[in-house]
């Protein structure tokens, strides 16, 4: 589904700069995520030039898709290597068509997709005792194994700090207690917003 007219990039003025994302910036990012999926289904190109300097800054981000309340795909970039505006478009396409857990999104499904975006801070080493549920996302690395869970995941599942660390290890393909025996732990924060967010 193409974004409704009031949230399409062409109808919005230049977005504001700042460390936090304004309501207008959020609408722009959600709009390009929807349009990236729709344009792929229609085999057409769209412009991925960021509409303002803030959205042109390299940032890691994840795009999560929901269809009728159920997870339909999630893909993201941890590293801040490309402009955020492009990151959102590329991860939206990845979530729709490249998440190996799901069949590619169809045209009929696209009209009902709800999107949630998680824009990541940079990774920083963290001591296990300092992990805060609801604030930190985690990356656990040991050798060639690496796993990531977003800050909202333990909240959604009701996990405590230890369970969160264990589950991130499992996501990496490691034993649940690997964070106690040599695995590196890094944390990040994320600004999370989506189509169902009524705060903007």
Say if residue 111 is exposed, middle or buried (CB neighbours under 10 Å; 0-12, 13-18, 19+).
exposed
Mean pLDDT of 2-20: 36
pLDDT score for 20: 67
Summarised one tens digit per residue, pLDDT across range 117-154 is 999 998 999 999 999 999 999 999 999 999 999 999 99
Q: What is the CATH number of domain 124-188?
A: 3.30.1490.150
User: What per-residue confidence (pLDDT) applies to 27?
Assistant: 95
pLDDT of residue 13: 34
**CA 102 to the chain's CA centroid:** 17
Mean pLDDT computed over 17-42: 89
Residue 2 has pLDDT above 50, yes or no: no
Return the domain boundaries, the chain: 11-120, 124-188
SS (H, E, C) the chain: CCCCHHHCHHHCCCCCCCCCCCHHHHHHHHHHHHHHHHHHHCCCCCCCCCCCCHHHCECCEEEEEEECCEEEEEEEECCCCCEHHHHHHHHHHHHHHCCCCCCCCCHHHHCCEEEEEEEECCCEECCHHHCCCCCCEEEEEECCEEEEECCHHHHHHCCCHHHHHHHHHHHCCCCCCHHHCCCEEEEECEEEEECCCCCC
> What are the residues facing 194 on neighbouring strands?
116
pLDDT surpasses 90 at 186: yes
Q: Which CATH superfamily hosts domain 11-120?
A: Hypothetical protein ph0010; domain 1 (3.30.700.20)
The structure's pTM equals: 0.78
Write the pLDDT tens digit of every residue in 81-124. Answer: 999 999 999 999 999 999 999 999 999 999 999 999 999 998 99
Per-residue pLDDT at 14 exceeds 80: no
pLDDT digits (tens, 9 = 90+) for 155-174: 999 999 999 999 999 999 99
pLDDT at 8: 32
Q: Report the pLDDT averaged over residues 10-19.
A: 36
- Percent of all residues in the chain with a pLDDT value above 90, rounded to a whole number: 84
Angle at 103 between CA 50 and CA 70, to 5 degrees: 80
Percent of the chain surpassing pLDDT 70: 88
């Amino acid at each position: 589904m193409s974004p409704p007219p009031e949230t399409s990039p062409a109808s919005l003025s230049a977005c504001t700069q700042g460390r936090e994302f304004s309501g207008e910036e959020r609408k722009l990012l959600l709009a390009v995520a929807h349009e990236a999926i729709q344009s792929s289904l229609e085999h057409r190109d769209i412009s991925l030039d960021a509409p303002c300097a803030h959205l042109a800054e390299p940032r890691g981000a994840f795009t999560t898709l929901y269809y009728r309340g159920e997870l339909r795909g999630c893909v993201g970039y941890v590293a801040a290597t490309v402009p955020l505006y492009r990151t959102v478009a590329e991860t939206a396409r990845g979530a729709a068509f490249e998440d190996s857990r799901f069949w590619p999104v169809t045209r009929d499904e696209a009209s009902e997709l709800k999107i949630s975006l998680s824009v990541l801070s940079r990774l920083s080493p963290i001591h296990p005792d300092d992990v805060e549920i609801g604030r930190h996302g985690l990356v656990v690395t040991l050798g060639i194994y690496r796993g990531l869970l977003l800050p909202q995941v333990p909240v959604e599942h009701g996990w405590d700090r230890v369970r969160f660390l264990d589950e991130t290890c499992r996501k990496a393909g490691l034993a649940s207690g690997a964070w106690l025996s040599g695995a590196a732990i890094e944390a990040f924060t994320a600004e999370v917003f989506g189509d169902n967010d009524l705060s903007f």
